[in-house]
Structure 1
Amino acid sequence: MYDTLGTPANPQRLGSSPRSRVWRIELHGQPAIVKQIIGGPEPGLDNMDAGERHTREATALRLAARAHPPVAPALIASDPAHRLLVLEQLPNRRTGAWPIRYAETLARLHAVTTPADTGTLPPWHGPTPADADAFLALAAALGIAVRADAETELADLLDRLDPTGHHDLIHGDPCPGNDRHTPTGTRLLDFEAAALGNGLAELAYLRIGLPTCWNATALPNTLVDEAETAYLTARGLTGGREALLDACAGWLIRGDALVERAHRGQADHLARLTGEDWHWGAVSARDRLTHRLTVAAAFEHMPAFARLCQKMHQHATTLWPSLRPLPSRLITWV
């Protein structure tokens, strides 16, 4: 690869996840980023090994390059044998209105793929009947008798969230920290979890509190409303509000959205909540759950489910008096 690019200069190791090594380098006097995918099969990523994850990220970056303005760093080169990606280095300056630019970038990203791209990336996995059963079991464990109409609404929700037929390019982990706020707009990094599915699952991050992120945050509703409107308008989804709330509910019922990626797919984390709490980032799993229950308790299109969430929130706050609201200001390390 470097026979073509030239010899890198001034390498500097950067912080990264346990699944990669990252360096800042210079090529012909210009800054660039080198990322090497490492590690064995990853339970939270379809048990893909490092080579498969490299292919997944490189494929997603090539698909994302169709967007204008850009939504990702340019892929300068790829070396599958050594699982290396050479990427454009991006500046970063986050401001208070970042969720709006973030939503606009998601809209452009999700729109780059078509049905013709089916099979280029794995399909996105939505919540399952097992997730719904675990959520109802948690309600029972909190001392709530679950009504039949709430169960029916939950079953109907799973049908609506079926990703079959959706082909949006999903980032897979669109957390603050995996973005860069440049003078020409927001761009997303780290596409190793990319998939094809329904993009509303990622727009829902803003309202439901950044569900798979260490820095869970309860953003101001006015800012969330504006960001959602920007996305829905950009994609022509003028009637997409209820589908967006469905996506929020999907994150609520997924116990795996209470733990970091390395621990997903290995336990019923909703069931764990009745006997223990744990921290990921600045907030606890119970704090995350109760925020999501508050969001879902306001759903007018699922009234029985909303009443169930309201009761669960009431019982949870009684049983767990040390609960705290999510931070209203985003915490980042970049």
Structure 2
Amino acid sequence: MNEIMRAAERLLHTRLSDPVDLGGSSRTTVLRCRTADGRSVVVKAYTGGPDALRGFTAEAAGLSLGLAGPEVLGVDRDVPLLVLADLGDAPTLADLLLADDPKAAEEGLLAWAVGLGRLAARSVDRRAELTRLWARYDTGMPTWAEDPWITRAAARLPGVLETAGVAVPDGLGEELARIGTAGREEYPAFTPGDTCPDNNLLTPEGLRLLDFEAADFQSVFLTAAYCRMPFSSCWCVFALPDGLARRIEAAYRAEVVPVYPALAEDAVWEDGMRRAVAVWTVNATVGLLPRAAEDGPMHRTRRPVPTRRQVLRHRWETAARLDGLPAFTETMRRLLREVADGWQVDPLPGYPCFGRGGADRDG
């Protein structure tokens, strides 16, 4: 901690004091500190592993675009380390969803969807700038755009199915190749990468985004799928009221249609959304199913939280209803019948803020 603070002091040319550990992760140390003139800043230092180094470059470049997130006050590529403006202690969207005020949670969800949509719309002509910023803060790691994570997850799926005792339907490989086109190049826009509820502060000035460690340009469908599933890659996954889920998706879509007019066509939108939901379902399956032999909570400390088995079954139930992907939906039905039916876990409940029956309400 002392080394991190000294490096940050060199960047800011001021003394820092009163460090408070904000949690960080296995890749980062995050401290809130006080400057000599009384300001509060956040210092984020990264370990030397490949994922942490790529996260540093992505965050430094993504935040330096100035489209969203806290202001960058200093960057040290050698440590590596960022000093950021402190956004304070506003509640996150996760805090609202896990609390008991349905109106505040609904307003937070709509602010989140509109904010992400506006960010996407403002970013469409900034991709070359992000490339230049990545080069400025490069630590030798490939960009997220160069990471074929969709293809890699699809390649792993047959082996994961075989281990679980589920036969691979004919035609699944061809459908997975088609599903993968809902990736980075289909209506691309900037995203912080991890737009989960705990990375979104709802401040008096509006939505502020945190965690740009996976910042990149990707298809707007991959972001919009967070509205429909909901929260495709997150731990804070409960069932949303159907009407509310539709409204937050529509709010996001309304913001991106002006820059991508083709997305006003329902056929175009639905085709992209089907494939994006499938992409995230494959990602969840290969990531969680090997760890579901023994069920456990989706988050180490936060409560309430669903279990891995509850989330997987919910993902498979959602994906089993997709149109136009017969081999994929048959895979989902087999997983439900041959794996999930033996788990004997409760169905995924609604978000606490909407009550246990929240999934059945028309929000």
User: Is this a same-fold pair by TM over 0.5?
Assistant: yes
- Candidates 23, 29, 38, aligned match of 1:21: 29
Distance 1:6 1:103 in 2: 38
Residues 1:238 and 2:246 are matched in the alignment? no
Amino acid at match of 2:238: T
Residues 1:76 and 2:73 are matched in the alignment? yes
- Candidates 122, 131, 141, aligned match of 1:119: 131
Q: What's the TM-score, normalizing by structure 1?
A: 0.78
Q: Deviations over 1:220-244 (max 9, x none)?
A: 2222211111111101032323212
Within a 5 Å distance, the mapping from 1:117-196 to structure 2 comes to 117=129, 119-120=131-132, 121=134, 122-124=143-145, 125=147, 127-139=149-161, 146-158=168-180, 160-164=181-185, 167-196=188-217
Conserved? CA contact 1:78–1:85, under 8 Å: yes
Q: Shift in Å at residue 210 of structure 1?
A: 2.4
Q: Where does residue 59 of structure 1 map in the other structure? A: 61
For the residue of structure 2 that corresponds to 1:87, the secondary structure is strand
Q: Where does residue 253 of structure 1 map in the other structure? A: 282
Distance 1:218 1:134 in 2: 27
- Candidates 327, 330, 336, aligned match of 1:313: 336
**Contiguous gaps of at least 5 residues in structure 1:** 259-268
Q: Deviations over 1:32-73 (max 9, x none)?
A: 33223232214xx3xx53xx543321211011x1x3xxx311
Q: Deviations over 1:204-263 (max 9, x none)?
A: 2232242332322322222221111111110103232321231111011125774xxxxx
Residues 1:207 and 2:228 are matched in the alignment? yes
Distance 1:84 1:127 in 2: 26
For the residue of structure 1 that corresponds to 2:339, the secondary structure is helix
Q: Shift in Å at residue 280 of structure 1?
A: 2.6
Distance 1:235 1:21 in 2: 35
Conserved? CA contact 1:217–1:327, under 8 Å: yes
Distance 1:84 1:102 in 2: 28
The share of aligned pairs that are identical, in percent, is: 26
- Candidates 96, 101, 104, aligned match of 2:105: 96
Q: Give the helix-richer structure, 1 or 2.
A: 2
Q: Is the alpha carbon distance of 1:257 and 1:283 closer, same or farther for their aligned partners in structure 2, counting shifts above 3 Å? A: farther
Distance 2:275 2:207 in 1: 26
The more displaced of 192-201 and 134-143 is 134-143
For the residue of structure 2 that corresponds to 1:96, the secondary structure is helix
Q: Deviations over 1:241-299 (max 9, x none)?
A: 321231111011125774xxxxxxxxxx54554x4444332333222211111111221
Distance 2:9 2:166 in 1: 62
Distance 1:118 1:12 in 2: 31
Amino acid at match of 1:279: P
Q: Deviations over 1:75-96 (max 9, x none)?
A: 2333334433222222424431
Q: Shift in Å at residue 123 of structure 1?
A: 3.5
Residues 1:219 and 2:228 are matched in the alignment? no
Q: Is the alpha carbon distance of 1:24 and 1:302 closer, same or farther for their aligned partners in structure 2, counting shifts above 3 Å? A: same
**Contiguous gaps of at least 5 residues in structure 2:** 1-7, 97-103, 135-142, 258-262, 300-304, 354-363
Residues 1:33 and 2:41 are matched in the alignment? yes
Q: Shift in Å at residue 5 of structure 1?
A: 5.5
Distance 1:116 1:250 in 2: 26
State the superposition RMSD in angstroms: 3.2
Q: Shift in Å at residue 127 of structure 1?
A: 4.6
Q: Where does residue 264 of structure 1 map in the other structure? A: none
